[in-house]
Amino acid sequence: MDNTGESGRKLTETAGENVPATVSNLDSHWPEILDTVRQRVGHQTFQTWYRPLAPLAGDAGGLQVSCPNHFFLDWFSEHQLHHLNDAGTAYFGHEVLFELVVSNEVVKLGVPGPEAAPAPETVVSRPAATTVPVETIVMPERPQTNLNPDYVFSNFVVGSGTDLAYAAATAISDNPGHHFNPLFIHGGVGLGKTHLMQAIGNRIAIQRPQARILYTTAENFMNDLVKSIQESHTPDFKLRYRSVDVLLVDDVAFMAGKESTQEEFFHTFNALYNFKKQIVFTSDRSPKEITRLEERLRSRFEWGLITDIQPPNLETRIAILRRKVDINNIYIADDVIEFIAEHITDNIRRLEGALVRLLAFASLTGREITLEMASEALSSFFQGTSTGPVKIADVMEVTADVHGFSVDQLKSKRRTQDLARARQIAMHLARELTGASLNKIGRSFGNRDHSTVAYACKKISDEMETDPRFRGAVRDLMERIRKRS
Ligand code: ADP
Ligand code: MG
């Protein structure tokens, strides 16, 4: 109360000694109560925790104030409410106690507001039934909707590999938080996961302008967390992620092995899920295939609907190219489009890349786009489709390293259990990634027989078939090896 003496006195005089603390006039006293609080708690805390509050008028209860959500309510009650009570007490000149109410529950109580109550679905994001303008109760430091406006459903070509994911995505956009929560979309690189996920956000944003939609990648989430810890702003961090209506988290496999991130995300998930906020995940693999993931988080990923997306077939690839050409108002003959679609089979981003390259080539050379010209312009691009050749030596080095052995040990005759297993995995990967013959692989692994290699390949692929986690681990290894070559 150090610096409230003067203002407290002034306020008391203004308000009169015996101002009844009824809700019907709390509204008119609120700005001055806030002034008192601001002096006590400082600007940053004030912005974070007091801007979102709004006095409730018209209720016969006590001094009721609305806040955005339960997380806010809990945190505020524990850390800030006493400041508010003190400020109110100083202002009115007698002890008062404030009560916080979650804003969307205010509507359920039927408290009349200055405007017609919004439709039930929109209530979730909007403190209604208050007497202050809506702008003043927007969440603090609310992240801007950072969605790419091009990633909408109408730009997404549905094929047999994406029809289920597409159906689920549109269903939850129309009714977020009810069906399929969370929605987990997984599939290979460049197949449209981010596009679909953001299309959900874009559609919800149009249908429910007040909904708070947050798109983030798992990597961003982690960086934000680290930053908030470094700067001691963890409450702000928690509030930012827990006060949204729709949370879109891209590439969650990134969380593998990052324990603190998983821990924090687990609580974020629970906070949102419990209040039926829609959550969407994408990943390059299914939850079961993500290694080094806490079991409780894995199970949350699996609670809703898991859907995969598969590479498009030829017809879909042609349709996607046509759509891109139409959107950009250019003309490219059918045979050229088919030519591109035949050559790039497993990545739509590369399909787009080929088109861009073709157009660039045409404009630089001034040549007409014909089949012949396309094959000239794109030949090197097509060659780049597969990554550089992987060597057996790369496979051995990375596999040995990951398992804590040396390459010499992999080649040796020793057969301790762990070493034999690492050797089998390496043989399988050598076969998969280099395409070398069984004989050649056998020779590289300390002159072993081709039947030994064949046995190892079969054993490992059988195990991958039945054990998704093992499959995930082997896939991780594959990626590491590919990155080296
Ligand atoms: P991912 O997140 O799976 O790696 P993206 O969503 O980033 O893939 O998609 C890569 C590019 O391909 C984006 O530009 C996206 O718009 C486009 N794309 C992917 N799938 C489709 C589709 N079915 N129809 C149209 N464009 C697509
Ligand atoms: Mg993506």
Q: Which has more confidence, 250 or 71? A: 250
Q: Calculate how far, in angstroms, residue 193's C-alpha sits from the geometric centre of ligand 1.
A: 7
Q: Calculate how far, in angstroms, residue 248's C-alpha sits from the geometric centre of ligand 1.
A: 16
| Predicted TM-score of the model (pTM) | 0.62
The ligand placed nearest to the CA atom of residue 252 is 2
Q: What is the pLDDT of residue 9?
A: 33
Q: Calculate how far, in angstroms, residue 372's C-alpha sits from the geometric centre of ligand 1.
A: 28
Report residue 287's pLDDT band, with 50, 70 and 90 as the boundaries. very high
Residue 282 Cα: closest atom of ligand 1: 2
CA distances from 20 to 6, 88, 94, 284, 475 (A): 22, 12, 10, 61, 69
Question: Residue 133: pLDDT above 80?
Answer: no
Which tokens in the block code for residue 443? 């020779």
**Contact between 429 and 481 (Cβ < 8 Å):** yes
The C-alpha angle with vertex 201 and arms to 199 and 203, in degrees rounded to 5, equals 70
157 within ligand 1 shell (Cβ under 6 A): yes
Residue nearest to atom 18 of ligand 1 (CA): 192
Q: Distance between CA atoms of 203 and 217, rounded to whole angstroms? A: 19
Q: Distance between CA atoms of 303 and 301, rounded to whole angstroms? A: 6
Q: Distance between CA atoms of 48 and 236, rounded to whole angstroms? A: 7
Chain position carrying tokens 């045409």: 362
Q: Which of 151, 162, 191, 328 to mutate to test the pocket of ligand 1 (most atoms within 8 A of CB)?
A: 191
Q: What is the pLDDT of residue 389?
A: 74
Q: What is the pLDDT of residue 244?
A: 95
HSE at residue 107, side-chain half, CA atoms within 13 A, is 18
156 within ligand 1 shell (Cβ under 6 A): yes
What integer is the mean pLDDT of 83-97? Answer: 87
Residue nearest to atom 9 of ligand 1 (CA): 192
The C-alpha angle with vertex 385 and arms to 379 and 389, in degrees rounded to 5, equals 110
Q: Which one, of 23, 89, 91, lies nearest residue 55 by Cα?
A: 23
Q: What is the pLDDT of residue 13?
A: 34
Residue 197 Cα: closest atom of ligand 1: 6
Q: Which one, of 226, 259, 264, 220, lies nearest residue 242 by Cα?
A: 264
Q: Calculate how far, in angstroms, residue 310's C-alpha sits from the geometric centre of ligand 1.
A: 12
**Contact between 12 and 92 (Cβ < 8 Å):** yes
Listed range (35-44, 182-191, 348-357, 445-454) with the worst mean pLDDT = 35-44
What integer is the mean pLDDT of 438-446? Answer: 95
**Percent of the chain at pLDDT exceeding 70:** 82
DSSP structure class, residue 445? T
46 within ligand 1 shell (Cβ under 6 A): no
DSSP structure class, residue 148? -
**Mean pLDDT of all residues belonging to the chain:** 83
Summarize pLDDT for 107-128 with one digit per residue, the tens: 433 333 333 333 332 222 333 3
Q: What is the pLDDT of residue 379?
A: 87
Q: Which has more confidence, 389 or 307? A: 307
Q: What is the pLDDT of residue 90?
A: 87
Q: What is the pLDDT of residue 124?
A: 28
Q: Which of 185, 348, 355 to mutate to test the pocket of ligand 1 (most atoms within 8 A of CB)?
A: 348
Q: Calculate how far, in angstroms, residue 349's C-alpha sits from the geometric centre of ligand 2.
A: 10
Q: Distance between CA atoms of 277 and 125, rounded to whole angstroms? A: 10
Q: Distance between CA atoms of 475 and 252, rounded to whole angstroms? A: 16
Summarize pLDDT for 23-64 with one digit per residue, the tens: 457 778 888 899 989 888 877 677 667 877 888 764 444 688
With the C-alpha atoms ordered 225, 231, 235, 241, is the resulting torsion angle positive or negative?
Answer: negative
Q: What is the pLDDT of residue 106?
A: 53
